[in-house]
Amino acid sequence: MHERSSGKHSLVADPALAEMILLVGDLTSLKEAKRNVFLRDYREKTMVYSEIDAVVPYGPGVYCSGAKANLLNLRRTRSDVYVSRYVSSENSYIRHRHGEPKNLLFSFMGRRGCRVRARLIDEPYNRSDVFVRDTTAYRHWGDSEVDRERAQRDYADILARSHFALCPRGAGFGSIRLFEVMEMGVAPVLLADRYALPVGPDWDSFLLRIAEKDYARLPEVLERHVAESAERGQRARSAWEEFFAPEKVFDRLIEQLTEIRREMWLPETVYQRFWPWLQIRAELRPWVSSQARRGQLQLRRMLGYKTPPSGWVNSDPR
């Protein structure tokens, strides 16, 4: 990643001489955060880059799947592009295919992973110009190279045929597919209520934001924007080139981290005292979510609603 930078920034071997220390990876527990020598000895200049889904911001920095700020905005975190998009998770078939004929109103291929994705997969849109495929059985790191290449090619081909590409949240609040769709030059549709979009692009000029609860209304909503889908796709591609292309990643990351350090108002010596509460919150979150879902299901049954079948998948229109 650094080899693609413009040379504005340089790396040093001694952390004491560095203006900023960057931890690249995931801090998954309070124990791991406490053991980290940089967060302990250089706490005021140590920053984090992480692609973890379950974000627990022990250190300030860029978390790709970050949430929108709450009422107490500490200005410690931002979202940004997934660097693995250009390394371990690269799909060589994701590229700009200008002028590709479009015969799909919208498409989505992905794992269930969360509630909104499961609802998208289970919703009977019953339209030949809507393509939804459940790829939960596909294992990116486990399937053979031939199967992986075929799956990646099919994924890119479907995107290229789509006026709009759905970008629902994944296991985290964000998803790598938003940046893949932008690179393809396809108009993205975001269904991720709590996701904090990266700073920089004029998102409203090309991105359609749909509330997660309105997944069933997608055909009705998107039909009203078909005439502008090509222009939205071109603007999405231009934004990707300006902010998220591989050669921009390193310098942009350092600039983001520098701005975070400048905007932070709570010293890390104070913030780290609240680490145990972050751990407790992270442990309670799945339980609270499960209880909320259980309550919603019980309420639906009391009101006489039927839950959608779990295995329904839209058929391939080709």
Q: What are phi and psi of 235, to 5 degrees?
A: -70, -35
Architecture of domain 86-245: 3-Layer(aba) Sandwich (3.40)
41: which strand partners?
none
pLDDT attached to residue 230: 97
What are the residue ranges spanned by the domains of the chain?
Answer: 2-83+248-275, 86-245
pLDDT attached to residue 292: 58
How far, in Å, are 166, 190, 193, 225, 271 from residue 220 at the CA level?
14, 16, 20, 10, 46
pLDDT attached to residue 311: 35
- The one-digit pLDDT tens for each residue of the chain (318 residues) are 555 556 678 888 899 999 999 999 999 899 999 999 999 999 999 999 999 998 999 999 999 999 998 878 999 999 999 998 888 788 999 999 888 899 999 999 999 989 999 999 999 999 999 999 999 887 665 656 668 889 999 999 999 999 999 999 999 999 999 999 999 999 999 999 999 999 999 999 999 999 999 999 999 999 999 999 999 999 999 999 999 999 999 999 999 999 999 999 999 999 999 999 888 877 776 665 666 566 666 766 676 665 544 333 333 332
Q: Is 79 exposed, middle or buried (0-12, 13-18, 19+ CB in 10 A)?
A: buried
